[in-house]
Amino acid sequence: MTGPRNPSPERWTAYDADAVTVARSLLGQRLVRLEGGHRLSGIIVETEAYLGADDRAAHTYGGRRTARNESMYLAGGHAYVYFIYGMHYCLNAVCGRAGEGTAVLLRALAPEEGLEIMRTRRPAARRDRELCSGPARLTAALNIDRALDGIDLRTHPQLWIEPAAPVGEGRIRSRPRIGVASAGSWAEKPLRFLIDGCRHVSRP
């Protein structure tokens, strides 16, 4: 198992921009979960942007505000973790200004550290490329749940994003988001971003 390699890691902090910019910029950065002194990490290879009150697929569509989505209204840099289908968690990085209700869903990682632990949590994964190839898979592999909802990714000691190798614009592809068919015309907008050719990207 891999121990922490840097007790004071550099944090990725560019959360103040709009959701599309953040969703594209997060590709190639490293998500890190620290548990019991062990690092579990992976490179972010797929994201989805959710644009707030006008976006019919966003949890904040129409300005809807509940106990469940309150963290999505925090300032950029906080985590929004929600529970879906009565069995899965999904992790989002909130972006923009406080009150805007915009966020980026982290859809898939290319695992780097802590694969031994991830395999015990994702025994159904036949290959390592399936460990984090989907939003519910990555939260299961890294043990992310509602206990981490609302934490500040810029300062939290157990969950953060580190800067890593940037992804060139030529390698970024945009596609419609997954699982938002009820959002009308918003379901077809190319607000899912992925690294072209990456085998760790989720499958619809």
Q: What is the CATH number of the domain that holds 128?
A: 3.10.300.10
Domain annotation covers residue 104: yes
Residue 7 has pLDDT above 60, yes or no: no
pLDDT of residue 165: 86
Residue 166 has pLDDT above 90, yes or no: no
Residue 34 has pLDDT above 60, yes or no: yes
Residues spanned by the domain of 159: 19-192
Residue 91 has pLDDT above 90, yes or no: yes
Domain annotation covers residue 12: no
Domain annotation covers residue 164: yes
Domain annotation covers residue 157: yes
Domain annotation covers residue 197: no
Domain annotation covers residue 109: yes
Number of structural domains (the chain) is: 1
Give the span between the Cα atoms of 194 and 5, in whole angstroms: 28
Residue 5 has pLDDT above 80, yes or no: no
The model's pTM is: 0.94
Domain annotation covers residue 51: yes
Residue 1 has pLDDT above 70, yes or no: no
The answer to whether the beta carbons of residues 73 and 103 sit under 8 Å apart is no
